Structure 1
């Protein structure tokens, strides 16, 4: 009986479609015979499967597609690299590279904003080059933080002298500015969103190849200074590199001891910054910035307040208008357009003057402009801005928002 059943099973199996290409094995010594299909006959060998390589452009697109995902809970540090052409009114056409990293010291803390670090390189056709690193290290539950920046640059620079009248009327001169700057601060939260801390810094500026030394008014071409100071801040921003909401108020008082530099006397600097951010509608944010800098008498020319550049009064050549004191204000509307792409428009004004008693409303300089944004990393933007001012304009390319 059993042999009859086995014969019947074998007959039925032999009638199955040949396409399956199955083999059947029956052991003669078995009372109950069985069949099986060998795995190696139905699956291709692993070493015979050729890996598919994605096209280069597809790999680039996929790389940046993943860069906007917050991976700070999974990785110790989430770095994204980008390189490309750069341009600003001060440095002209060049090339730059950036490594931007986000990380969390406590990856179980989802309330505290991630820390950030940036390593940057830049060079231009004029002979300018810059190398540096900067960032903000935020400790658990935002109880304390460390901010830092280290940079060295060599830049062919235009120079008009000191004061509003010099910037407006003097013929342009040139020199090469070599600048080393180190800044660090440690802040401790005393009550919610309120921080007190200490700061320290060092800066060294050397000017060479001046075409017009009279604009220095008898001062030396090189100065070194070390600073120590106190900082008080209120900070409710949700994300420091690109806030969407919150308020930031900073008061910084710096002392440059005569013994720790070669400026000839003790110097003081007071800086006040007030930034506010508010969501107006879906994808639309209003950001406002007020900044003031006041330097003591005897401050040498390379340490004076310099209007213009990549962050405030965009479109003005940084340093054309230079004096002991400066006040600037700007308001910017930021709008997300589609996926990673956004745009901004802004307006503002600024003034440089030797003392508050010498402030003149007629010397206030206007500023306005527009720009595009591309989010190359989660809430970290590449920005293309075109700014306008009094008898000036300029295009610039940079990373992170202006304020």
Structure 2
């Protein structure tokens, strides 16, 4: 596999009223050099990193992790985070990714979402489990070019203790070009065309006892979402989507050792479900190692169980504890797609290992190697997969 070389630059800016002082500390940790300028609240850590994924091949991305508190004097409020990246790959892909988890009003309001832009060579195996297994990947059978963007945001209001109810917006678009002959003859492509715009609004209900959304050590998260996509909302498609997400986290033996698992399901309903927005497996957050979109259909299920282990130091660190910045994870998973909810195809296996490097308390950069059926992938990004 690819030998990954990563250079991380850590920069924190210290401001109190006006700028009183700026300190620069250069540390060498496992051959990684960090520059650090500290700020009490607002922190930004830039990075430059190469990686390899099935979708983009060799990718060079630059970006950073922004963290802050919306109420600096509230010691009980978790830090909000906005990881972002801009990438260019060996196959000509251009990618932009911005995520956000923001806590407001004493955590009575949360906004969580992402903005994605991709202009890249892509692959389309067709719809269905059998196509994902049997259609060979090549420029003549699966290759095409896709420009894709998505804006997704959840506005969640705490109603009672750990119960949240909120509104969801999902806007996305696809422009496909340079189609191969196989794709031109696909019934779903012929039905939906190559320029697709989806606009959906919906509601979500969540029960969340996680101690920290971005990297939970313990707690439960249960979410049910219903989205309505209609042409009168601004898109050119009409269908409905129901999503279910269950996650649970347990401390194992001691602090910073966690057993976590996630069950996800997505179901689409209607006669105009576009090929570009069907339920998919793969990518950096679900069934890591599978090319995103290789397996797609109206319905998808997946299960992932992951063990997370952060190391302890033999000597005390500068923060006054024995916590190391380094750790590892390992996971097992399975999933499938189908055209009918009652239909069940064969399970797709998934496994992997990863390294973790803590940039800020509970804020990691992750290096994951996912193993899939017939392919694999390496991912470098901020935040845990779930």
Both proteins in one fold, TM over 0.5 = yes
The alpha carbon displacement at 1:109 in A equals 1.2
2: CA distance, partners of 1:248 / 1:262: 31
Gap change, CA 1:245 and 1:259, over 3 Å in 2? same
- Corresponding residue of 2:281: 307
Does residue 311 of structure 2 align to residue 337 of structure 1? yes
Q: Are 2:357 and 1:386 aligned?
A: no
Cα distance, 1:57 vs structure 2: 6.3
Instruction: Return the offset for 1:208.
Output: 0.8
Moved more, 335-344 or 385-394: 385-394
Which secondary structure state, in structure 2, belongs to the residue aligned with residue 356 of structure 1?
Answer: coil
Does residue 180 of structure 1 match 2:180?
no
Partner residue in 1 for 2:319: none
5 Å-filtered alignment, 1:316-327, equals 316-327=290-301
1:289 aligned residue (259, 262, 266): 262
The farther-off stretch of 160-169 and 331-340 is 331-340
CA distance in 2, matches of 1:295, 1:261: 19
Paired residues for 1:228-267 under 5 Å: 228-264=201-237, 266-267=238-239
Shift of 1:271: 0.6
- 1:104 lines up with 2:75 in the alignment: no
Listed one character per residue, the Cα deviations across residues 334-357 of structure 1 (whole Å, up to 9, x for unaligned) are 011251111111001001001112
Render the CA deviation track for 1:339-397: whole Å, top value 9, x for unaligned: 1111111001001001112223xx11111111111112332212221222223322222
Question: 1:142: how far off?
Answer: 1.2
CA distance in 2, matches of 1:154, 1:392: 22
Structure 2 regions of 5+ residues with no counterpart? Answer: 1-23, 313-323
Identify which of 333, 341, 350 aligns with 2:335: 350
Distance 2:213 2:247 in 1: 11
Q: Which runs of 5+ in 1 are unaligned?
A: 1-52
Q: 1:277 to 1:234 in 2, by over 3 A?
A: same
Q: Secondary structure at the match of 2:126?
A: coil
**Which deviates more, 389-398 or 223-232?**
389-398
Q: Tell me the residue number matched to 1:38.
A: none
| TM-score normalized with structure 1 length | 0.80
CA distance change for structure 1 residues 61 and 182 in 2, over 3 Å: closer, same or farther? Answer: same
C-alpha spacing 1:162/1:54, structure 2 compared with 1 (3 Å):
closer
Aligned counterpart for 2:244 among listed residues 256, 272, 276: 272
Shift, 1:103, TM fit:
1.1
- Cα offset for 1:198? 0.8
The structure carrying a bigger helix percent of its residues is 1
Instruction: Tell me the number of residue pairs that the alignment of Structure 1 and Structure 2 aligns.
Output: 341
Moved over 3 A (4+): 53-58, 261-264
Describe how 1:118-267 pairs up with structure 2 within 5 A: 118-172=83-137, 173-211=142-180, 212=182, 213-217=184-188, 218-219=190-191, 220-264=193-237, 266-267=238-239
Relative to structure 1, is the Cα distance of residues 166 and 261 closer, same or farther in structure 2, using a 3 angstrom cutoff?
farther
Residue 66 of structure 2 aligns to a residue whose secondary structure is: strand
C-alpha deviation, 1:148, in angstroms: 3.0
Name the SS for the 1:165 alignment partner: helix
| Offset, 1:136 | 1.7
Higher Cα Rg, which structure: 1
- Which structure has more strand as a fraction of its residues? 2
